[in-house]
Amino acid sequence: MCGRFTQSCSWEETAELFELEEIPDDLPPRYNVAPTQPAAVVRNEDVRRLRMLRWGLIPSGAPDPSIGNRLINARAETASVRPSFRDAFRARRCLVPVDGFFEWERLGRRRQPWLFRMRDGGPFALAGLFERWRPPPGVSAPWLPEDGSSAAVETFTILTTDANPVVAEVHDRMPVIVPPDAFDRWLGGGEVPLGPYPPEAMTAFRVSPVVNSPRNDDPRCVEPLAGGEDREAAGRSPPSLFG
């Protein structure tokens, strides 16, 4: 799965990668984006634009918005046919700009977070789907406007696939990473390989447990744990990757 990610690269660097014409002036870096929080996504609106959507897809016909809390990820193998995602898979795709994502290693009762990044430390794109949902009459939630407005709420989910060798020692799933030469095809509804990303392009390291709390969103979340060692896939077999 993908349960947390970072958007901490400079937005100018992100704009260059995604060929964005403009970005908001007041967009802060994010070091620990968690489900139900707003996050930046890229989608086609004649040109590529950056928009803030809530993480956790609410299907357009859902009677209760709490379903979004469970739909933060969509399996790439079934998203095109599963009722919650199939319409968005066909017509509402997006890219989620990130510079890292977290997974957790189980060590007895303790969960040790790992940060996965590109070896060059730069931004990259996760495959996403988005939806627009209007609250039915009488439906409320703490994050909906108190005035009872029925304005559409836009939400997104992240596609996942089998883990590559870099991720597999920590988790059996990873987010689908879309290479830059496939951005147009993905956003346009075309066919894009949705399998594991090449492991030789990635690296990973342990980070502080401060990332375990979604209330913590600061540079401590992405600092390598003292004594931790970067692990890369090149020339390594999976059993020794995180040994």
The catalytic site residues sit at 2, 103
Q: Do 120 and 27 form a contact (C-beta atoms < 8 A)? A: no
Paired tokens of 18: 């995604």
How far apart CA 33 and CA 111 sit, in angstroms, is 18
Burial 120-149 (b: 16+ CB within 10 A, else e): eeebbbbbbbbbebebeeeeeeeeeeeeee
Q: Do 225 and 208 form a contact (C-beta atoms < 8 A)? A: yes
Q: Do 132 and 59 form a contact (C-beta atoms < 8 A)? A: no
Residue 235, sorted as left (phi over 0), alpha (psi -120 to 50) or beta, turns out to be: left
How far apart CA 181 and CA 83 sit, in angstroms, is 29
Q: Do 5 and 31 form a contact (C-beta atoms < 8 A)? A: no
Measured in whole angstroms, how far is the alpha carbon of residue 99 from the centre of its chain?
10
How far apart CA 178 and CA 194 sit, in angstroms, is 8
Q: Report the 3 state secondary structure along 145-157.
A: CCCCCCCCEEEEE
Q: How far apart are the first and last CA of the chain?
A: 22
